Amino acid sequence: MKKTGIFYGPAGGRTESVAKRLGELLGPENHDLISLDRAGADDLDKYDNIIFGIATIGKETWDAEPVESAWFDFMPRLEKAKLEGKKIAIYGLGDHLRWPLHFVDAMGQLYRLLQEKGIDTVGKVSPDDYTFEESEALVDGMFVGLPIDEDFQSELTSQRIKAWVKQICSEFN
């Protein structure tokens, strides 16, 4: 398998923890972990396979005032990046109980940006095993990537990550 760049933000929390778990399953020789607060658009050029990790933090994510985060700073670089020919997967963290109307919305917003660039993603996931009311990450009946709820479904995270890594590895090749 070609080396995969796992780009994630924010650093230091659950999004990073999931990035590390994904990396462990991919194997140390098959991935690099890159925190978005240290990443530039040229870092994306190094990889044919990319995983983006993003969190839907809560109400502040969809308020009129933009939240400054690593993703806030990275989005303009991503908009300019040349991603043609790359395989991209997304995982997103969200809270299905406190924010059932916005479950993993940030993952859907990132997906739309990639779609505007003409890039589709791999690693789509069925919503069948998830409880939520609405999500911007649900497109054509599938999640655009892997939803993770570490607040209220952490017991399912390992199983979900393992199944997803197996899926994206077959789609990355």
pLDDT at 111 over 90: yes
pLDDT at 132 over 80: yes
Residue-averaged pLDDT of the chain: 90
More confident: 136 or 1: 136
65 CB-near residues (< 8 Å, 6+ apart): none
Domain that residue 14 falls in:
4-172
Verdict on whether the full-model pTM lies above 0.95: no
Domain count, the chain: 1
User: Could you tell me the pLDDT band of residue 121, with boundaries at 50, 70 and 90?
Assistant: very high
User: Could you tell me the pLDDT band of residue 60, with boundaries at 50, 70 and 90?
Assistant: very low
Instruction: Assign residue 83 the CATH number of its domain.
Output: 3.40.50.360
Q: Hey, which residues does 170 pair with through a beta bridge? A: none
Give the pair of three-digit tokens for residue 86: 């790359």
Distance CA 71, CA 21 (A): 20
Q: Average the pLDDT over each of 9-18, 21-30, 49-58 and give the range with the smallest value.
A: 49-58
